[in-house]
Amino acid sequence: MRKKLEIVLVFGLMVGITLLFVFGPKEKISLSEKRTLATLPALTWDTYISGDFSKGINLYINDHFPFRAEAVRLTEAFRYNLGFRLQNQEKIVVVGNPKMVQVSEDSNLDSAVQKAYLEGFEEFDASSVLILNGKIYTTNSGDPAISPYFAKMLNVYADSLRGKARVFSAVAPLSSAFIPLPNYERYALRNEKTLQAIQTNLNPEVYFADVMGEMNQHYNEYLWYGSDHHWTGLGAYYGYVAFCKAAGITPVPLSSMEKKERKGFLGTLYELTRDQSVRDNPDRVETYIPPGIETKAVYYNAYDFKYPQLSKVFCNAPNYSAFICGDTPLMKITTNVKNGKKIVVVKNSMGNAFVVYLISHYEQIYVVDFRYSKHNLLKIMKEAQVNDLVFAVGMYATVSRGTVGMMRNLAYQKDQDYDQVLKQEEAQRILESINGVQDTVVVQNQN
């Protein structure tokens, strides 16, 4: 009787899992792994003979097995709890360095390649990270030999805009500058030297915002996420204060802003390491909203001002996208601050949390992501009669001639029609498809 019961239970479990797999909801993306999940492959004679169909089925089953995400987390927790754990955990984790696209200073790579390069460079360009008491720090620490190229690029903009607009440097340091252990002070020192090299090489016409100096005054506060490579809303606030001091603006006191908080955020560095101690100490996303400011935000495609899409300055997102809803090529923010002042912010993702504080001081804010935008920066400033130009980027962007070249090239972009670009891209895809078929025919004939 007992044996029969066991057989029934096992059979019922197998049927239940099968029904869940077949009829259960299927996700298209994995938020934890930040990738698209496998789709059910098409069964054709070619895919069957080549074996692609069976491989696709295996991938589909692996990605959509019932309770897969829970099983992965349970495995991580089990491994973490094996053996003894010290109270103060300190370890270097090797995360690998994905293949990088080499971008020269004068490169004219297409936007897709540039995007792939910069996303990899900014977020994952590290052979290792430091995990300390459930918090991850980058082990990158800048490069004072390369950062002067960034300063010289700003000098060129200042020369072009002399008498028309002010130019500012507002570079955020890396989290490695804030590791709370004496034996890692060399990282903080290298961060400082990298920023000093920028300041030293700036012409007097360029204003330097001492972002790291301001952040150092609040060293023990919640400046960096423990699971992500970005600074927090509070860290970005002190970057904004540094900018205000350089610009002669009175910053809005933090105490007068409305604070909103979302808990449970696990970011990019956690996904690289999948470390259980980090998972046990999730981040919180804090946004500080200036009082009495009304905003309207729209974003545009990479090439022109066609097809504007509505956006927001503060988004209801449980992650870093809470700030200006993430990255777009060009965003325009209009406020009810009727003072005629306008600013362009050139940024990578680090600038997103910085931008939100400027709404108290400018009537219009143009946010240009140098990784994606094909707009001519000087043309925008001339036509909109912009007063200030600030480069609010993470230090990653200042220590590569490729990224510095992209910011410089914003001044020389040529106008392109978005619809024509789409037609050209579609024609190129068709041509590549035809060439692929021809190559296949040639190979088959050779056999």
pLDDT at res. 65? 56
- In DSSP terms, 172 is beta-bridged to 394
The phi, psi pair for 235, rounded to 5°, reads -60, -45
Higher pLDDT, 296 or 102: 296
pLDDT at res. 45? 75
* CB contact at 8 A, 239 and 215: yes
Higher pLDDT, 81 or 383: 383
pLDDT at res. 105? 37
In sequence order, which residues have a C-beta less than 8 Å from that of residue 378 and are 6 or more positions away? 160, 161, 411
> Tell me: the pLDDT tens digits for 311-341?
999 999 999 999 999 999 999 999 999 999 9
> Tell me: the pLDDT tens digits for 359-398?
999 999 999 999 999 999 999 999 999 999 999 999 989 9
At how many degrees (to 10) do helices 68-80 and 52-64 cross? 70
- In DSSP terms, 90 is beta-bridged to 132
Task: Calculate the average pLDDT of the chain.
Answer: 82
Over residues 225-252, mean pLDDT = 97
pLDDT at res. 180? 93
**Could you tell me the CA-to-CA distances from 374 to 231, 313, 421 in Å, in that order?**
27, 22, 11
pLDDT at res. 443? 42
In sequence order, which residues have a C-beta less than 8 Å from that of residue 171 and are 6 or more positions away? 150, 195, 198, 209, 211, 391, 392, 393, 394, 395, 397, 398
Give the C-alpha separation, 59 to 46, whole Å: 18
pLDDT at res. 169? 98
pLDDT at res. 376? 97
* CB contact at 8 A, 91 and 131: yes
pLDDT at res. 42? 74
pLDDT at res. 101? 37
Over residues 119-127, mean pLDDT = 51
pLDDT > 70 fraction of the chain, expressed in percent and rounded? 72
pLDDT at res. 347? 97
Q: What is the pTM of this model?
A: 0.77
- Range ranked top by mean pLDDT from 3-7, 110-114, 435-439: 3-7
Higher pLDDT, 275 or 59: 275
Q: Please say if the pLDDT value at position 115 is more than 50.
A: no
pLDDT at res. 52? 72
> Tell me: the pLDDT tens digits for 212-230?
999 999 999 999 999 999 9
Over residues 145-159, mean pLDDT = 97
pLDDT-based confidence at 110, cuts 50/70/90? very low
pLDDT at res. 98? 43
pLDDT at res. 94? 62
> Tell me: the pLDDT tens digits for 15-54?
655 655 555 665 665 555 545 666 767 777 777 676 777 7
Give the C-alpha separation, 199 to 148, whole Å: 8
